[in-house]
Amino acid sequence: MKPVICLLLIALTGLAFIPNADPLPIGSSIPAAAVKMKDVSGKIISLNDVKTNQGLLVMFSCNTCPYVIKNQERTKQTGDYLRQKGIGFVILNSNEGNRSNDESYKAMQHYASAQDYQWPYAVDSNNELADAFGASRTPEVYLFDGKGKLVYRGAMDDSPADPSKISRQHLKLAIDEMLAGKPVSVAESRSVGCGIKRKE
């Protein structure tokens, strides 16, 4: 076999194992909705268990990313708002590459307790959901309507690094438009944060 052909086959074989880097398209159904995950409460849950007739918000997050920390107060405000509106909310930790250290299950439990999370914070084992969603950053959000269709993905607002400079609350506006039965005016935004630490 010619060297060029061998190199091409090796390259194509390698590509087969690269996680899906493309984010979930708007209008998609909830992926991997039945996959079971361990919540910090010790319960085993799936996205199907968390979603409601009003919708579902899935956030990819972690314990240590500076952008997660900068957005923590906004995360709690979002969680409270979702509960008021009857929308399911779950935070997923997909940092499998750092699971033995600051992103361990025990560290997640401590973090959720310190932040007074009133919603599930679950381990995404083997990055299964992050890969299914095409998620790449923390924090990154995916909002689904009551029919399980994706209506918004990206950042919570237009100033992830500095809450004092927020001029548009992308997620909150998307929630309000979705519940009002209107098309979401800004359905996608660029998430800014730390890369998800996938297992090598």
Q: Domains of the chain: which residue ranges?
A: 22-195
Tell me the C-alpha to C-alpha distance, in Å, between residue 196 and each of 8, 98, 130, 152, 167: 29, 10, 8, 20, 27
Q: What φ, ψ does residue 15 adopt, rounded to 5°? A: -65, -30
Check residue 186 and give its pLDDT.
97
Check residue 23 and give its pLDDT.
86
Q: Tens digit of pLDDT for each residue in 176-198? A: 999 999 999 999 999 999 999 99
CATH number for the region 22-195 comes to: 3.40.30.10
Q: Are 156 and 193 in contact (CB under 8 A)?
A: no
Q: Tens digit of pLDDT for each residue in 72-129? A: 999 999 999 999 999 999 999 999 999 988 999 999 999 999 999 999 999 999 999 9
Q: Tens digit of pLDDT for each residue in 61-74? A: 999 999 999 999 99
Residue type, 16: A
Q: Could you give the CA distance from residue 30 to residue 147 in angstroms, rounded to a whole number?
A: 9
Q: Tens digit of pLDDT for each residue in 123-164? A: 999 999 999 999 999 999 999 999 999 999 999 999 998 889
Question: Residue 9 above 70 pLDDT?
Answer: no
Q: What φ, ψ does residue 150 adopt, rounded to 5°? A: -70, 125
Check residue 11 and give its pLDDT.
36
Check residue 117 and give its pLDDT.
96
Share of the chain above pLDDT 90, in %: 84
Q: Tens digit of pLDDT for each residue in 20-53? A: 458 899 999 999 999 999 999 999 999 999 999 9
